[in-house]
Amino acid sequence: MTTVMSEQNQVENPHTHVDALKDELSEARHRLNDFVAYGIGGLPVRKESMLFHEVSCMVRRPPFTRTSRRKNVLKSVDFPEGCEYDEAVVDRPLRVIPEALRQQTHSFGFNALEMTPSQMLAHWFIMFQEYDLLSKYKIHGETLRDYFLTVHNAYRTNTYHNFNHAMDVAQFAFALFANSEQLRTKLSSLDILCCLVLGLAHDMDHPGVNNAFLVKTRDPVAMLYNDQSVLENAHAASLFLMFHNKPTCNVLANVEGDEYSQARKTILRGILATDMARHFALVKEISAHQSLTEVEEVPDDVRMSLIDCIAKSGDICHLVRPWPVAKAWEDLVMEEFFEQGDYEKQLGMTPDGLFDREKCKVANSQCWFYDNMGKPLFKALEHHVPTTAATLLDVMQANVSKWKEMC
């Protein structure tokens, strides 16, 4: 009998193994297509070039396989008409910039939803040139462009968590500095650089579902980060591994020694601060610190909390955009939530009410978010930059009034 059972196992096991190999081969083909596209865009053609969680061998099933959307890979990106670019110019390679474009970069009315990659590239360069970051940190214009392109290609074509959202967050950080003398004078050029870099990269490779979904479905990335700030850890790790694997896009290449250590710490903290699970702790922390208006030199703990607050407020800055822009973003985020809810139903799961398009009362949910999440955060920001934040709070109040009319 033992001999017979052994022979049966010998027959059955190879088939099981072959099926598993077929599944892995199918997924590998998809991954290879992405990899080839990245290679065309400039990544070195070697396995180590791919994002860390895409090549992780800790589990058999690759990360995000249940939720993956393809990426809209660009081979190149040029500046829009009216701009003149000269890569030989070290400090300000974007030599000619239409004034209307520059004013748009400074405005809290910025609408990334309606912008092409070309237009966003111009805004990206303006942000760096306005504060002389290219010359101060020896960033070549082509390095800055390659960073923009590579980060763009790392975002998926999600309904909300896409590259346009990334640009929205980065621009909001810039606009805060541009419109607040307190921030410009009390924080450093390195702080501004970090806010811009982390703003654009903060949601790299987002799968279009939230942390709770990844934990519930036992996604390999949730396993990798022990269910703690899963997406935020993945985004941050992907950014620095991108720098390591593709030096041509490393905007921190000439930031050295203690400054590099500080920059890395700041960027990691800022990205992790965007986890909604940390929201209330961050609001409490930033509110407890002495106001920027009351100090000559900013203590390191206050500086770090402020940058976390800039990152966090940028992540939900649609709340303080003009109503047409705010409403457009909020419709998209709700649709992405509903897409997750639809998928959970397909998997036999019961989605939370916010993610169930058949049960969620959108206007009520938006009013709750404005009042309980948005307002406390921007009140905490007002503690440090009163004039600027007060203006933003007025816009927020006008927006929530519009939602309340729909309840």
User: Could you write out the DSSP letters of every residue in 279-343?
Assistant: HHHHHHHHHHSPPGGG-SS--HHHHHHHHHHHHHHHHTGGGGS-HHHHHHHHHHHHHHHHHHHHH
| Residue 315 assigned as binding residue | yes
| Residue 163 assigned as binding residue | yes
Structural domain contains residue 3? no
| Residue 161 assigned as binding residue | yes
Our count of domains for the chain comes to 1
Beta bridge partners, 96, equal: 84
Structural domain contains residue 38? no
Structural domain contains residue 317? yes
- Contact of 264 with 357, CB cutoff 8 Å: no
| Residue 371 assigned as binding residue | no
- CATH number, domain of 304, equals 1.10.1300.10
Beta bridge partners, 156, equal: 71
3-state secondary structure labels for all residues of 212-224: HHHHHCCCHHHHH
Which residue segment(s) compose the domain that 258 sits in? 116-404
Structural domain contains residue 52? no
Residue 113 to residue 346: CA distance in whole angstroms:
30
| Residue 366 assigned as binding residue | yes
Structural domain contains residue 356? yes
Q: How many CB atoms lie within 10 A of CB 3?
A: 7
Beta pairing, strands 84-85 & 94-96: antiparallel
pLDDT < 50: residue spans in the chain: 1-12, 38-63, 65
Residue 380 to residue 185: CA distance in whole angstroms:
19
Maximal CA-CA distance, the chain? 86
161 is catalytic: yes
Structural domain contains residue 244? yes
Structural domain contains residue 322? yes
Q: Which of these is catalytic: 106, 161, 279, 318? A: 161
Q: Which amino acid is at 405?
A: E
Q: Which two tokens stand for residue 369?
A: 């978010």
> Kindly report the CA angle at 358 between 354 and 359, in degrees rounded to 5?
50
Structural domain contains residue 80? no
Residue 249 to residue 351: CA distance in whole angstroms:
39
| Residue 206 assigned as binding residue | no
| Residue 203 assigned as binding residue | yes
